[in-house]
Amino acid sequence: MPEQTPNSNSAEKSRSIMSVQTVRVSNAGESQSQSQSESQSQSKTLSQVISEDWLSVEAPLEIYLREPAKTIAVTMRTPGNDEDLALGFLFSEGVISNIEQILQVESLGQDSIAISLKYPDKVNLDALSLERHSYVSSSCGVCGKKSIDTAKTQSLVQPLSKKVSAELLYELPKTLQAQQPDFGSTGGIHASALFDLQGRLLAVREDVGRHNALDKLIGDRLKQDLLPLEDTILLLSGRASFELLQKAAKAGIALVASVGAPSSLAYETARACNITLVGFLRQSRFNVYCGDGIAQQATANASAETSTSASASSSASANTNNTLEANMTE
């Protein structure tokens, strides 16, 4: 098997974050006792300190086909792993189905990727253009059903060779966090991570766009000719949307876990494609929305805990949502 490279190329890190000067504002009397603070609340002044902060870079990337000569997408992304992003995008959109269809991938400066296909005359770009650039309301039930049917038809998902334990799942967010250098610096970037069924990290990609992070991850696996991704676990650092489940199904990922919540369409897509969908994954708990990829003992314990501490769980869920707000919004 090719050498695994869990993290992004460190040489690209300088392009993915930038330093800015900020004015940090806080209450001047924060260290005072509560009684002192309350008595002086009317006269409290604000402290302003000049400090340095780091931001995730967001910049356009053009994905260009050599033949037919055509720009097929311009996506706002975090620079880094751009070739992986372009390849993952082409795969996810159905332009290619394997790496053998790629003749060459070239970087044209920092914000453009050119791709040459072996069989350009067999690519249906009209469907791609219509799908990516037409507006569809998220409340359109007919459109949602059509999207799920398409995802089911294109799905490469196969059943897991073994079920995954709760203990293994609990450790995944901690492993991912240790491999998120840009999130550690900025607090404003998404990640997609791929694990095997033993909990070993295979790859992780970060981007300001959650869909881009997953495209980068899929593109990395495609480049190594490792698709479909059987017997793997996908961990999402935020919530699970329909588009992410659609990409996971097409890549053959049978277990998707997210730190946040899934959407209704993501749930329906997971059910249609036989994907085990886990949400609100924490160090000691998670929700299983559908699928049979989790060991039965784990789901039984989770159900018993939920039934005996419903009110506590509700409160914890509210606190969790507040804690994860920065990582679950784009």
Write out the residue range of the structural domain in which residue 84 sits.
59-153
By the 8 A CB rule, do 272 and 266 touch?
no
Q: Is residue 186 part of a domain?
A: yes
- For the cut 90, the answer to whether the pLDDT of residue 273 exceeds it is yes
Shared-domain flag, residues 86 and 173:
no
Q: Is residue 3 part of a domain?
A: no
pLDDT of residue 45: 78
Strand boundaries in the chain, DSSP class E: 17-27, 46-56, 59-65, 70-77, 102-107, 112-117, 190-196, 201-207, 232-236, 255-258, 276-279, 287-290
Shared-domain flag, residues 100 and 234:
no
140 carries an active-site annotation = yes
Shared-domain flag, residues 174 and 314:
yes
Shared-domain flag, residues 16 and 134:
no
Nearest Cα neighbor of 65 from 102, 30, 18 is 102
Residue 5 — pLDDT band, cuts 50, 70, 90?
Answer: low
Q: Is residue 287 part of a domain?
A: yes
- Compute and round to an integer the Cα radius of gyration of the chain: 22
Shared-domain flag, residues 175 and 235:
yes
Q: Is residue 2 part of a domain?
A: no
Q: Which residues are CB-neighbours of 197 under 8 A, at least 6 positions away?
A: 160, 161, 162, 164, 168, 231, 232, 233
Shared-domain flag, residues 145 and 221:
no
Q: How many Å apart are CA 247 and CA 212, to the nearest integer?
A: 11
Shared-domain flag, residues 98 and 15:
no
pLDDT of residue 317: 45
CATH number, position 80: 3.10.20.10
By the 8 A CB rule, do 213 and 61 touch?
no
Catalytic-labelled residue, pool 140, 143, 273, 290: 140
Shared-domain flag, residues 207 and 274:
yes
**What percent of the chain clears pLDDT 90, i.e. is strictly above it?**
55
Q: Is the pTM of this model over 0.85?
A: no
Shared-domain flag, residues 323 and 282:
yes
Q: How many Å apart are CA 21 and CA 9, to the nearest integer?
A: 26
CA angle, residues 90, 93, 95, in degrees to nearest 5 = 55
Q: Is residue 108 part of a domain?
A: yes
- For the cut 80, the answer to whether the pLDDT of residue 143 exceeds it is no
Tell which wins on pLDDT, 148 or 4: 148
Task: Provide the domain count of the chain.
Answer: 3
